[in-house]
Amino acid sequence: MADLQSINARTGQPLGAAWAASTAEEIDAAVAAAAQAAALFAATSAAERAALLRDLAEALLAGRDTLVPLADRESGLGLARLGGELDRTAFQLRGFADVLERGIVHAVIDDAAVAGMPPAGRPRMLRVRVPLGPVAMFSASNFPFAFSVLGGDTAAALAAGCPVVVKSHPAHPELSRQTVALARQVVAARGLPVGVFQSVEGAAVETGVRLVQAPAIAAVAFTGSFHGGMALARVAAERARPIPFYGELGSVNPLVVLPPVVPSQGAALAETLAASICQGAGQFCTSPGLVIVRQDAAGDAFVQALADRLVAQTPHAMLTPGIRHAFEQGVSAWSCHAGVQTLVPGGAGMDALPRPFLGQVQAGDFIADARLQTEVFGAAALVVRVDSLAQTLAVLRAVGGALTVTLWGADSDTPEHRDLVRAATQVAGRVLFAGVPTGVAVTAAQQHGGPFPASTAPATTSVGYAALDRFLRPVALQEAPAWVVNCRGLV
């Protein structure tokens, strides 16, 4: 029975005919093809993989006139936003190619032999890295290009020499199919095995579970909901041979507004923050969902300015009815909480465009109730009022883990600011001292991950060129003969 259908995000009407999801047999065949290609692909040179990535980037850019309007119909995110996202995706692919060509991936640590008895004496040791094998990559709903079929996870895995089995997202199924077809054409044109790039599709939980359970899958990359990610993480951990699960699950992204910046910059910062909360209808994993403000008159003025500017925002339609329903439920739960004062009511019912929500809660109430510490995915934020640095630190500790923490006003070197920065680095993978977190640069220094519940593997990143480290495993070669050291595909 068909269970995939392209839907116009603005009208809710179907686009074209529906089609059947991948069967269990088709999922198994895709993984088998990836497994068969793994050794050959791992043996390719850095230059060969760089050429593949560049060709994928060029094909994506060449398909802009078809792919961007299709992405807009299925997501409602707008042509300008999606055109920029396609450019970013091509930039990522080319960036990983540059990394490969610089030799970073195949760098070897060579410890020469030292004569004598241990511990001073030692044999010659070379530390190399080898590809893990086939990677299951789960596309995200909110970035139809950058975190989807040819997004960062796919680019990183291919750069590392790992075949990819993409699980397309049902929120943009036709875009995914066309992008998959484009990628397969590039792989074939380069003379690589078809198993280097495979895909499966389906909206049912069973599709993802079967993919993760496939014995030949060596790692999983996932960006999506907390509950969906944790369910798949358990599947990965409970296999007969457990495998790494690199999950980005969600984040409240605290933003601390320190008193020194409010008198002179409060109005401008409130406008910037309101736009960030509503960017993409709040459907960013880095959307600031928690705003920590001092309990004083200047803080009151800032919060009022933020509320006024949020009222003026007009978020567009959300990606899917399911995401919209979860947003309405989250806003309702906050609105009904005894400790939350509603400042901007938000929510508009499923038949209207979403409206931003802003609530206010005292630090003690926030710290005491885990229900207030979870993400509401959409244009919604809680202001937490604190009366001291100690309370600010306690609020950050209550969050536990986030992709980002933003500190506005920590510009001078003081003991208090040092304490705050230390606390922020314990909570988040990225700490900002200016700007807003809803932009994630693709660069070697980027860290897009954080302590749980933001991600399941906080020592890794899903954005930036260090992402390929997830798909490489260190191996030490002791007293290896010259032919092993010089053999392409072994080291």
Predicted confidence (pLDDT) per residue in 183-224, tens digit: 999 999 999 999 999 999 999 999 999 999 999 999 999 999
pLDDT for position 110: 93
Which among 296, 295, 292, 304 is positioned nearest to 266, based on CA atoms?
A: 304
Scored b (16 or more CB within 10 A) or e, 155-179 reads: bbbbbbbbbbbbbbbbbbbbbbbbb
Burial of residue 408 (number of CB atoms within 10 Å: 0-12, 13-18, 19+): buried
Q: How confident is the model at residue 491 (pLDDT cuts 50, 70, 90)?
A: low
pLDDT for position 350: 58
Q: How confident is the model at residue 1 (pLDDT cuts 50, 70, 90)?
A: very low
pLDDT at 349 over 90: no
- DSSP strands (E only) in 335-454: 341-345, 357-362, 380-386, 402-408, 428-432
Q: Is 487 labeled as catalytic in the residue annotation?
A: no
Question: pLDDT of 431-444, one tens digit each?
Answer: 999 999 998 999 99
Proportion of the chain in helix, strand, coil states, percent, rounded to 5: 45, 20, 35
Question: pLDDT of 135-151, one tens digit each?
Answer: 999 999 999 999 999 99
Q: How confident is the model at residue 96 (pLDDT cuts 50, 70, 90)?
A: very high
pLDDT at 348 over 80: no
Question: pLDDT of 302-345, one tens digit each?
Answer: 999 999 999 999 888 888 888 999 999 999 999 999 999 999 99
Q: What is the C-alpha separation between 443 and 404, in angstroms, rounded?
A: 16
Which among 248, 281, 226 is positioned nearest to 9, based on CA atoms?
A: 281
pLDDT for position 125: 95
Helix, strand or coil, per DSSP, at residue 367: helix
Task: Report the pLDDT averaged over residues 242-262.
Answer: 95
Contact 312, 335 (CB under 8 A): no
Contact 448, 396 (CB under 8 A): no
Q: What is the C-alpha separation between 232 and 381, in angstroms, rounded?
A: 28
Does 263 sit behind a cis peptide bond, omega within 30 degrees of 0 on the bond before it?
no
Annotated catalytic residue, options 26, 201, 248, 375: 248
Question: pLDDT of 45-82, one tens digit each?
Answer: 999 999 999 999 999 999 999 999 999 999 999 999 99
The set of residues, in sequence order, having a beta carbon less than 8 Å from that of 204 and lying 6+ positions away, is 3, 21
pLDDT for position 315: 85
pLDDT at 97 over 50: yes
Tokens of 63: 């398909």
Annotated catalytic residue, options 85, 285, 328, 375: 285
Per-chain mean pLDDT for the chain: 94
Lowest mean per-residue pLDDT among 101-105, 168-172, 427-431: 101-105
pLDDT for position 258: 96
- Domains and their CATH numbers in the chain: 2-249+455-486 (3.40.605.10), 254-432 (3.40.309.10)
Q: How confident is the model at residue 489 (pLDDT cuts 50, 70, 90)?
A: low
Q: Is 48 labeled as catalytic in the residue annotation?
A: no
Q: What is the C-alpha separation between 196 and 160, in angstroms, rounded?
A: 12
Q: φ, ψ for residue 380 (rounded to 5)?
A: -145, 140
- Compute the CA torsion angle 259, 264, 266, 271 (nearest 10 deg): -150
Q: What is the C-alpha separation between 309 and 8, in angstroms, rounded?
A: 30
Contact 41, 193 (CB under 8 A): yes
- What's the Rg (C-alpha) of the chain? 24
pLDDT for position 107: 84
pLDDT for position 262: 92
pLDDT for position 105: 83
pLDDT at 429 over 60: yes
Q: What is the pTM of this model?
A: 0.94
Question: pLDDT of 6-34, one tens digit each?
Answer: 999 888 899 999 999 999 999 999 999 99
pLDDT at 353 over 90: no
One-letter amino acid at 94 equals R
pLDDT for position 347: 65
Can you name the residues that pair with 254 across neighbouring β-strands? 290
